[in-house]
Chain A
Amino acid sequence: MIKKWKRFAALTLCGSALLAACGSGEASSEPGNTDNNDSNNDTTEESNEPTQITWMNMLHTASPPTDTVTNAIEEYTNTELEFQWIPDASKEERLNTALASGNLADIVTLTILDNSSVRNALKAGQFWDVEPFLDEFDNLSQITEDTRRSASIEGVLYGIPFQKPLARNGVVLRKDWLDNLGMEEPQTLEELYEVARAFSEDDPNGTGQNDTTGFMDRADLKYGSFKTLATYHGVPNEWKEESGEFTPQFDTPEYVEALEYMRELYTNGLINQDFAVTAKTDQQEGFAQGRAGIYVGGLMDARNLYTLSEGITDDMELSQLNKINKDGSDDYAIWSDNNGVGGLLAFPKSEVSDENELRDVLQFVNDIMDEEVYIMMTSGIEGVHHEMDGNTSNRINEDLWQQEVQPFASSRPKEIGYDLVTGDELKLYSDNLILENEEIAVLNPAYSLESTTFTSQGSELSVIIEDATYQYILGDIDLDGFEAAVERWYQSGGQQIVEEYEAAWAEIN
């Protein structure tokens, strides 16, 4: 009996040793492609062994994609890909621990460039400066000087910038409810307020019950309603720059107006009363269930909201608006998210050890910017997820697309300047509005400026303002209380940030 047991133990031990050996073998044979890929003529060296690439990437969907699209991309780019998906909700802690422990991949998607440890890691030289290599590649050389500068930190470009539309936010609302009430699409903030009031009080869904509200918002001042409504009020995007003088957005009279507007909405019950603790999924579900009629956020969410509503609220019709302002004039504005830079695809020196390896990885990033791969990552594989009709792609299997393609949408290094058009009406409409937004987008003048205090304490300081903003909207503090918070922000380091930005600005101009 004992003997048997011993044998078993020995076997297990051997087995695990074997497995361990396999594991380390795999790791060491990793990128090892030493062929000189200097030229980006992909005709001559097509016969190469596929390059092995690991990619630490953000996941914005509930589960990672299956292999279908990955295989197609691998085939096109002659690579073997291995993804390490980081759920977007825990990106801060995951990235920070990855950076601290040095557990990185060949490509790391960094979307939070203003996070202090990410910024420190970049500035400390943990990642390659890619700018000298860009012009060797077709697509990478097309990245405009503006984008390169916006994505740089202290003048150095530590990765391939994600090129996103400048501004994607706007208002989505229930067209059928407007029609029921005989109302027009709102064009001013006042009209928007009136719509919200009518949606709450005038029984837009005709059930005879008081079961609807105007806005459905979530606990997110930036990507939720507040920041978008604030730009409609004329609030600058994070910072106001006037001949070299910087003022934070919350120290402007417009910000207070926006606060007041939100507070009115809240106290009159025109917004879901627990918006300050509502998660994005609950918000979207609430809208899809027909509990509210106005959604402020990414315009492309219109499509998701509609999909969600199918089977629950069948008669839903959606309007999308991007031009609302105070007075109905032709002067519009919408804030730009990170000035159109969605982050960086960065290459850690610990994984990508020399310039040849870097060129291999850059070649891959360059290749996935080709229109063919863009289509794979946007619409999926022809005949499986969609059918092409000229430049128009029509989705044929919504569920499969959501599972296998959607997760890649946020990994596209470039989302603008392609010919592909969607066949979906709602999506096409939001795409067009987002294009229109380019012209009215308000940039953050401090985005590419450097402030050491902002790097080290910025996120902590912003909590002061964030909390005060919520508290004001919910009526927990008054204007004096809010101003005290702003004062506290200045005292605890904000003043230094202002000075550092002004100094950095003066240096460039």
Chain B
Amino acid sequence: MEQQALESNIELTKKKSYDWMQHKYLYAMIFPGLLYFIIFKYLPMGGLIIAFQDYQPFLGIFGSPWVGLKHFSRLFTDDVFFMLLRNTLYLFGLNIFLFFPMPIILSLMLNEVANKRFKSSIQTIIYIPHFMSWVIIVSISFVLLSLDGGLINELIAYLGGEKISFLTSPTWLPRIYIIQVIWKELGWSTIIYLAAITSVDTQLYEAADMDGAGRLRKMWHVTLPAIRGTIITLMILKIGNVLNLGFEHLHLLINSMNRSVAEIFDTYIYTAGLQNGQLSFSTAVGMFKGLVGFVLVWGTNKLAKKMGEDGVY
């Protein structure tokens, strides 16, 4: 019995190595991709070492003095850290709870549109904002929201209200942020959901029809469960980007008055590292951010698997 198991085991390894040989060209095709990841993604990670040094470009990685966890202890004892964490998590929460469900709802609605031409023209129109850069979107909102002759404030004043300092108010920053995100990315984010919806077996709908289900029932009991896997995968990917809230976007929105709610890890790393030249400290901040992102993806993936979904790996 044991003998047999052993043999089949050997057989298996043999078969495996044979497999490998047979598909060697396919494997060779992976090679450029692997090389890309090694050179551009893994090798630069070596640079993280400067988070434990007082790095000075002139002295180089090998000449700069080692300081151990100095930069990390500075980060964790600084008030700034909690501000960054709070702001990052808050804006991330807005992204997950306000923004994330929207494209799902929109694609369900688009799916119900019977007129093909109408549907595809709507799709084209809502994809356009995705191709605008943040500079343009923020500039447009600037012009609309300014206190000195901005359209919306003029309207408020005309209607007898009091002008609102949208651009310098900490309360308005998160709202403006999420509205801009929705405006820009909503349409584009529906693409994958729409693709997933088209692959739903039409027999299911027919069966539901037979059972007398209306449109809403079909949406709820057929379409949504069918794209559940897609939703969860996208959710995990989104969470992987938890701390990448869009440096460019917030960097453009930030100013002295709303810094207390707008400063996130990315903008802080930019100011501390690239502008003020504290390369080691900002590397430490970046490293922490990366670790948090990693833990979140790993955790969500675990959770997804527990719930019987596929996960991303």
Assess whether A116 is in contact with B277, with CB atoms less than 8 Å apart.
yes
Smallest CB–CB gap between A275 and chain B, Å? 9
Assess whether B59 is in contact with A276, with CB atoms less than 8 Å apart.
no
Name the residue of chain B whose CB is nearest to the CB of A100: B57
A476, B171: Cα distance in complex, Å: 12
Name the one of A93, A99, A120, A276 contacting B256, with C-beta atoms under 8 angstroms.
A276
Name the segment of B142-150, B195-203, B238-246, B294-302 touching the other chain.
B142-150
A277, B256: Cα distance in complex, Å: 9
Name the residue of chain B whose CB is nearest to the CB of A471: B257
Name the one of B142, B257, B272 contacting A276, with C-beta atoms under 8 angstroms.
B257
Name the one of A118, A466, A467, A469 contacting B277, with C-beta atoms under 8 angstroms.
A118
A101, B167: Cα distance in complex, Å: 37
A286, B146: Cα distance in complex, Å: 13
A120, B280: Cα distance in complex, Å: 13
Interface of B is mostly: loop
Assess whether B147 is in contact with A101, with CB atoms less than 8 Å apart.
no
A221, B307: Cα distance in complex, Å: 55
A124, B259: Cα distance in complex, Å: 33
Q: Mark A280-308, 1 if CB is under 8 A from B, else 0.
A: 00000010000100000000000000000
Assess whether A470 is in contact with B279, with CB atoms less than 8 Å apart.
no
Given contacts A96-B274, A274-B148, A276-B257, contact A120 B56 (CB under 8 A): yes
Residue from B255, B257, B271, B273 with most neighbouring chain A CB atoms (10 Å): B257
Assess whether B58 is in contact with A456, with CB atoms less than 8 Å apart.
no
Q: Mark B262-277, 1 if CB is under 8 A from A, else 0.
A: 0000000011111111
Name the one of B58, B163, B257, B276 contacting A121, with C-beta atoms under 8 angstroms.
B58
Assess whether B57 is in contact with A121, with CB atoms less than 8 Å apart.
yes
Q: Mark B70-98, 1 if CB is under 8 A from A, else 0.
A: 00000000000000000000000000000
List chain A residues, Cβ under 8 A from B272: 460
List chain B residues, Cβ under 8 A from A291: 148
Given contacts A101-B57, A272-B148, contact A277 B168 (CB under 8 A): yes
Smallest CB–CB gap between A456 and chain B, Å? 7
Residue count of chain B within 8 Å CB distance of chain A: 26
Q: Mark B135-156, 1 if CB is under 8 A from A, else 0.
A: 0000000100011100000000
Given contacts A124-B56, A476-B257, contact A277 B167 (CB under 8 A): yes
Say whether A203 faces chain B, with CB atoms less than 8 Å apart.
no
Name the one of A125, A277, A459 contacting B276, with C-beta atoms under 8 angstroms.
A459
List chain A residues, Cβ under 8 A from B270: 93
Say whether A328 faces chain B, with CB atoms less than 8 Å apart.
no
Say whether A273 faces chain B, with CB atoms less than 8 Å apart.
yes
Residue from B57, B59, B279 with most neighbouring chain A CB atoms (10 Å): B57
Given contacts A92-B275, A273-B165, A460-B276, contact A219 B255 (CB under 8 A): yes
Name the residue of chain B whose CB is nearest to the CB of A126: B58
Given contacts A121-B57, A273-B147, A274-B147, contact A96 B255 (CB under 8 A): no
A101, B147: Cα distance in complex, Å: 43
Assess whether B257 is in contact with A96, with CB atoms less than 8 Å apart.
no
Say whether B278 faces chain A, with CB atoms less than 8 Å apart.
yes
Name the one of A93, A276, A466 contacting B168, with C-beta atoms under 8 angstroms.
A276
Given contacts A93-B274, A96-B277, A476-B257, contact A274 B167 (CB under 8 A): yes
13 further A-B contacts with Cβ under 8 Å, apart from A274-B146, A456-B278, are: A92-B277, A99-B57, A116-B277, A117-B276, A117-B279, A121-B57, A124-B58, A124-B59, A219-B255, A276-B168, A463-B259, A470-B255, A471-B257
Task: Using CB atoms and an 8 Å cutoff, list the residues of chain A in contact with chain B.
Answer: 92-93, 96-97, 99-102, 115-118, 120-121, 124-126, 219, 272-274, 276-277, 286, 291, 456, 459-460, 463, 466-467, 469-471, 474, 476
Task: Using CB atoms and an 8 Å cutoff, list the residues of chain B in contact with chain A.
Answer: 56-59, 142, 146-148, 163, 165, 167-168, 255-257, 259, 270-279
Among all A-B residue pairs, the 9 with the closest Cβ atoms: A117-B277, A273-B147, A470-B256, A92-B275, A100-B57, A124-B58, A93-B274, A467-B256, A459-B276
